[in-house]
Structure 1
Amino acid sequence: MSPMSYWAMSGQPMFNYMTVSQHPEKKIPMHQERGFLRIKPGTNELALIVSHNFGLASLEEGLCDPVKKELTLETVEVTRISFAKPPFVKKYKRIFKLLSPDTLELTLFMETDKTPLTEHLKAVYKKVE
């Protein structure tokens, strides 16, 4: 999948977040996420609230490690629409790592009702000016 991600600052201690993946051959949109990354002022604590296009919403919380240049977030709560298709997501763990000033890597781990917490995808984003 080819990911496209968008982060925007709103003047508050949060970022607007959107990401879309597309099918590698067909180039059609697949998975979409939209949400907000909120920073607890004066701390390295974070919360990511995400809505997914397949009928799931998640609340993830974690920490920013400025030494490692990493954000690590884990699921606090997951909710889904009543007619969501299985397998059902139970947990996420996301690690955002700044590899260079213009390169961000995301590793996403996912647990479902059928699989343990396992690496689900890895994406590398390049800053576009």
Structure 2
Amino acid sequence: MQPQKMHEMVKPLQWLMGTWKSISAKVMYPTMKTVDFEEKLCFLSAGQPLLNYSSTTWNPKDKAPMHLEYGYLRIDEEGCLVALLTAMNFGISTVEEGTLQEKSLTTNSKSIAHTKFAKMPVVALQRCYCLNDKCQLSYTLKMQTERTPLSTHLECLYEKEEEKS
């Protein structure tokens, strides 16, 4: 999808808009060993009062796809409340809500749906995106399952890809 003109309502999210490539990315959990991965993260405007969201991850050694996520990031009229709607290739979809403060966005799951055969039933998610003083995007995802308390699952750092003219 080609980025479109930004809708007025998403201007508070302008710092997040674009395509981001991981500099470092790790997946971890109390029930697994830490693994490196690579990721392309996109928050793009379609000219609507929301951003299209996608996340594609792959194994850095053999480039095999790992986790895929697609969805939408919405913002309220006051520009401080957000909702992230996602669908994942592991058979999970979420509705997450949170807050936007300056160059930081935090969401917590409000609803999580699973396919009958999803590997690990997730009961809670918490995400935090933050733009640092080097214009790098940091991202932390915490996850809770039926057997494991809310724990860090992903830690990533991204740099923005240059826009093609």
TM superposition score normalised by structure 2? 0.73
Secondary structure of 2:132 counterpart: strand
More helix by share: 2
| Structure with the bigger percentage of strand | 1
1:95 corresponding residue in structure 2? 128
CA distance in 2, matches of 1:64, 1:82: 34
| Letter matched to residue 20 of structure 1 | T
Matches within 5 A, 1:5-20: 5-20=41-56
Give the aligned partner of residue 96 of structure 2.
60
Which protein shows a greater Rg?
2
Same amino acid, percent of matched pairs: 36
Question: Structure 1 residue 126 and structure 2 residue 159: aligned?
Answer: yes
Give the paired residue count: 126
Residue 12 of structure 2 corresponds to which residue in structure 1?
none
Match of 2:138 among 84, 105, 114: 105
Q: Answer whether contact 1:96 1:106 (CA < 8 A) is retained.
A: yes
- Normalization by structure 1: what TM-score? 0.92
Is the CA contact (8 Å cut-off) linking 1:13 and 1:41 kept in structure 2?
no
Q: Deviations over 1:6-38 (max 9, x none)?
A: 111122221100001111222111001000000
Distance in 2 (alpha carbons) for counterparts of 1:108 and 1:24? 20
> Which consecutive residues of structure 1, in runs of 5 or more, have no partner in the other structure?
none
Gaps of 5+ in 2: 1-36
Distance of 1:93 and 1:8 partners within structure 2 = 22
